[in-house]
Amino acid sequence: MMNNHSLLLGDAAAINQTKRQKRMELVTARDGYADSKTAYDEMMERKRMRGAEHREIKLSHYEERAGLTFDECNSMNFADAELRRQIKSGEIKGGFAGDGMSFPIWTPESVNDAWRSVGRSKQPTEKIQKNIIRLARKFNLTSGLPKAVRQRMKKGGSGMPEN
């Protein structure tokens, strides 16, 4: 049994082991069909299956929006140079909100992703936000913008946050 003193030392492996042990102890003897390790492994396998199922659903949405086949979606990493090349060449409708093919905009999800990651860039935040709004309007992807931005646009404003 571990005491609190050993947790304060910052031993990450010990902390993880303690958490894992607590999860394993959730399985009681009355479950009968499995010991705690087997039940834990089963729960983790279900979690992995749900993740794979989620990725498959997400890829099918990309297929519908980008006009790509499922195999193309499956083989392509959407943050890679190939996607950016296709947007730049016009194979996929969209554009770039930042300099140097940064912040690619091509689906409502990409609009949302770009908006949330604006602050991480060294580029001017206001400029990128304006470009995201401009591209979202141009390609009718405004559903990917945050609700507050859409409300400001509905009131007749530019959609930009007030300072």
Same domain for 116 and 65, yes or no, is: no
Per the prediction, the chain carries an average pLDDT of: 78
Count the alpha carbons within 13 Å of 149 in the hemisphere toward its beta carbon. 20
What is the residue range of 116's domain? Answer: 78-163
Residue 78 has pLDDT above 60, yes or no: no
33-55 pLDDT tens trace: 666 777 778 778 888 888 888 87
> For residue 10, what pLDDT band results from cuts at 50, 70 and 90?
low
- Same domain, yes or no: 67 and 120: no
**How much is the average pLDDT of 142-159?**
86
Indicate whether 66 and 1 sit together in one domain: yes
DSSP state of 69: -
Query: What's the total number of domains in the chain?
Result: 2
- 99 pLDDT band, cuts 50/70/90, is confident
Please indicate, yes or no, whether residues 54 and 100 belong to a single structural domain of this protein. no
Higher-pLDDT residue of 25 and 136 is: 136
Q: Which residues contact 96 (CB under 8 A, 6 or more apart)?
A: 84, 87, 88, 102, 103, 104, 105, 131
Q: Do 163 and 83 have their domain in common?
A: yes
User: Would you place residue 133 in the very low, low, confident or very high pLDDT band (cuts 50, 70, 90)?
Assistant: very high
| 12-17 mean pLDDT | 82
